[in-house]
Amino acid sequence: MESNSTSLKIFINWVDTYTGYNLSRHLYNSRNPDANVVSDIEPDADVTDEFLRRSIKFEIYGTVKSTNTTKSMGHIYKVLNRFNQMELIECFNSCDVVIFDISDDPEQIDEAKFALHGKNADIRPSEEEEEIDVSVVVLPFTEDDYRRRKPHPNYKRHWLFEKDVIRIGRFKPEALKTYVISSGLKYGMGEDILFHYFKTAWMNASFLPCIGNGKNKIPLIYITDLALLLQNLIEKNGTSPMYILAVDGQTTHLDSIVKAISEKLTTGAMRRISLENALLINGLKSRHLDYLTCDLLMESTIMTYLSFEGGLLPHISKVIQEFKETHGLEPIRIFIHGPPGAGQKQISENIASYYKVHPLFVKDVIQEKILKLKKIAVSESDLLKNVNLEEEAEEEEEENEVEDESTAGDESDEDEAVVSLRILQAQEYLKSLKESLEKNNGELEDKLILNIVQEKLASKPCQNQGFALYGYPETSFQAKDLFTNLTEIEEVFGLGVVIMPELVVNLDAPDSFLKEKLILLPEVELVEQYGSEEALFHKLSEFRRLNTSDDSILSFFDEQETRIEIIDISTVESNKVILDRVKRLLGSPRNFGLSPEETEKQLRMKAEQTLKDQIAAKLNAEEEERQESHRKLAEVRIQEEQMLEAQSLPMRNYLMQHVLPVLSHGLLECVKIRPQDPINFLAEYLFKFTPVEFPTPSTNKHVDS
């Protein structure tokens, strides 16, 4: 890829960070029709026609904060080494536009100073170049008030550098144009400062923390609008002021932001905490807290076009969808179907454990709903008393908050009315469930089961992560009502609720295999699950009847174009084989991976396993060493025995040939006669019957004589 005259060279620092990545990607896509993602945002109407007529592409250069970045850098023409000053100076002097974001890390200020003074020292009058600094806001003002700012001590370096940028830009504006953009809290496209809130809510936190009273005003800017502002600055050819505020102009309070995120992704609950407690939260850095606790009212006179008119709150659903798409958080919805004894429960739990989704068994879902209703339907006076106590505790934690007494009273009355209505609805729901159980011999009506399961599938946890459902529906009619008739559920949870499974895992096996497997179950477990052996066989035959017709539940999913994976469990060795087949169909998990606690637990378990393996290896080595020692000792003993045997062979031959024949005869005679003195008898016998020519080793001379 070679640079050409139809390209505008742009340098952006740290293109692997949230701001740098989104700015560089937008600029690249805005002028590159061949890009994978084309921006759907039009620039301001006052952009010069001459620039638009020219097919000039943006050629992006940049540095990265971390060399281990996982972000795609396909839109970056060249990634530079931020520690190679010679390479950077050469790039700065050849680029038409240099953009530095100094809002993320103080280290960026030093790099930006190096770039600014490097370009200032090499200004060529024949060339017109731009230096754009994206900074932070620290005081309420408009563009015209920037000179009167008094910076917070933490941001004095930013303030001094901003002054330096503007001073150098005024020195030779015809050669080097400089801009300072003070942006509000940036949101969208996966999030930066608000990432902790979105992630915590997506992971089904029971509440989200609101720092302080939450009434502080936070200036905001959609990251794409900030990128569009940069694009317009480049294309307007110097008609903008040197100091620009990048804010959406809306008055947005912290508690409104936290409440909106909580309502869309989790329970809707919010709890006020002190700044000291906020410092203890993992995921919230000091820089984040500076943004979240600031109280600024800012107005921009140049941000005339915004893609998100009205700010964050009216577009929270779209921002959440961007967050999910950016981080690959698409929910996984699976339905496991099969006859009794096919192992749906274990398969569901295995899938849920791997993909971090929610395993749902219809009986457990019903029981959970009943317990939840009973918890709500306590005596009205006790619950309202608890609500009032919680309100008093929250008021004690609030800092510097002054409210009108009449307004507070109205809120309290509204809370009591809401609680009373919730209690009444829970009591009526419980009553209907009880009547249905009594009427149907302990079984709920199908309509009630459908409503409970449908409500569970539409809940925030199942919409966020997904589910692995089994046990219901059992027929095509139930499946049709559950997955396609969403009118009532959309009235409660809103439009956009999706509960249709993306994969159906159909487990099957011959009846003989299933019966043999079920009969081997412990009697207690068999009775608990199926009631009796006769009831079990009846359920199996009923399942076959419902699933052999053309109107089976699999036919319904086939009509809905849902993927169906049929698995014969009698031919698989283990449940792991089934899970592997599901993995091939669905791919990798779609979540944030392991939490810090899970990561720590996994590392601890890995360390413990490593230690166990080391101890076992040491014991095995010691045991092998002992066995080797015993083996060698046994070999030595065998060799000694063989040597002794070889050495004693002549002696044994001598005894067998000359001694034992006479001795054995003597012993036999002794046994026959049984003398009173057998030893003396044997000696006389040997003396008498020993041949004269018998050679003795030590008395040969005496024998000869």
The residues pairing with 99 across neighbouring beta strands, listed in sequence order, are 12, 132
Rounded CA separation 12/21 (Å): 9
Q: What is the pLDDT of residue 238?
A: 60
Report yes or no on 151 lying in a domain.
no
pLDDT per position as a tens digit, 190-200: 999 999 999 99
Q: What's the whole-number mean pLDDT along residues 256-272?
A: 94
Q: What is the pLDDT of residue 118?
A: 64
Looking at the structure, tell me whether residues 359 and 448 fall in a common domain: yes
Looking at the structure, tell me whether residues 564 and 656 fall in a common domain: no
Looking at the structure, tell me whether residues 338 and 479 fall in a common domain: yes
Q: What's the whole-number mean pLDDT along residues 415-427?
A: 77
Instruction: List CB contacts of 689: < 8 A, sequence separation 6 or more.
Output: 662, 665, 666
The residues pairing with 9 across neighbouring beta strands, listed in sequence order, are 59
Looking at the structure, tell me whether residues 553 and 467 fall in a common domain: yes
Looking at the structure, tell me whether residues 455 and 533 fall in a common domain: yes
Report yes or no on 351 lying in a domain.
yes
Q: Which domain holds residue 381?
A: 332-386+421-590
Is the distance from CB of 14 to CB of 103 less than 8 angstroms?
Answer: no
491 class by beta-carbon count within 10 Å (0-12 exposed, 13-18 middle, 19+ buried): exposed
Q: Phi first, then psi: what are they for 423, rounded to 5°? A: -65, -45
Report yes or no on 378 lying in a domain.
yes
Three-class secondary structure of residue 276 per DSSP? helix
Map tokens 């709500």 to a residue: 376
State the pLDDT confidence band at 699, using cuts at 50, 70 and 90. Answer: very low
Percent of the chain with pLDDT over 90: 39
pLDDT per position as a tens digit, 589-641: 999 877 667 778 888 899 999 999 999 999 999 999 999 999 999 999 998 88
Per the rule left: phi > 0, alpha: psi between -120 and 50, beta: everything else, 281 is beta
Is the distance from CB of 253 to CB of 216 less than 8 angstroms?
Answer: yes
pLDDT over threshold 70, residue 21: yes
pLDDT per position as a tens digit, 157-169: 776 777 777 777 7
Model confidence, pTM:
0.75
Instruction: List CB contacts of 111: < 8 A, sequence separation 6 or more.
Output: 13, 63, 82, 100
Q: Phi first, then psi: what are they for 18, rounded to 5°? A: -55, -55
Instruction: State the DSSP code for 560.
Output: T
Q: What is the CATH number of the domain that holds 574?
A: 3.40.50.300
The separation between the first and the last C-alpha atoms of the chain, rounded to the nearest angstrom, is: 122
Q: Phi first, then psi: what are they for 642, rounded to 5°? A: -65, -40
Q: What is the pLDDT of residue 348?
A: 94
Report yes or no on 562 lying in a domain.
yes
Looking at the structure, tell me whether residues 349 and 375 fall in a common domain: yes
Q: What's the whole-number mean pLDDT along residues 641-657?
A: 85
Number of domains comprising the chain? 2
pLDDT per position as a tens digit, 356-393: 999 999 999 999 999 988 888 765 445 555 555 555 55
Q: What is the pLDDT of residue 581?
A: 94
| Range with lowest mean pLDDT among 237-251, 257-271, 280-294 | 237-251
Looking at the structure, tell me whether residues 491 and 628 fall in a common domain: no
pLDDT over threshold 70, residue 395: no
Per the rule left: phi > 0, alpha: psi between -120 and 50, beta: everything else, 496 is left
Is the distance from CB of 185 to CB of 226 less than 8 angstroms?
Answer: no
Looking at the structure, tell me whether residues 611 and 493 fall in a common domain: no
Q: Phi first, then psi: what are they for 665, rounded to 5°? A: -65, -40
Looking at the structure, tell me whether residues 613 and 568 fall in a common domain: no
Is the distance from CB of 59 to CB of 30 less than 8 angstroms?
Answer: no
Looking at the structure, tell me whether residues 352 and 467 fall in a common domain: yes
Report how far Cα 600 is from the mean position of its chain's Cα atoms. Answer: 14
pLDDT per position as a tens digit, 513-549: 888 887 777 777 766 777 777 777 888 888 888 888 7
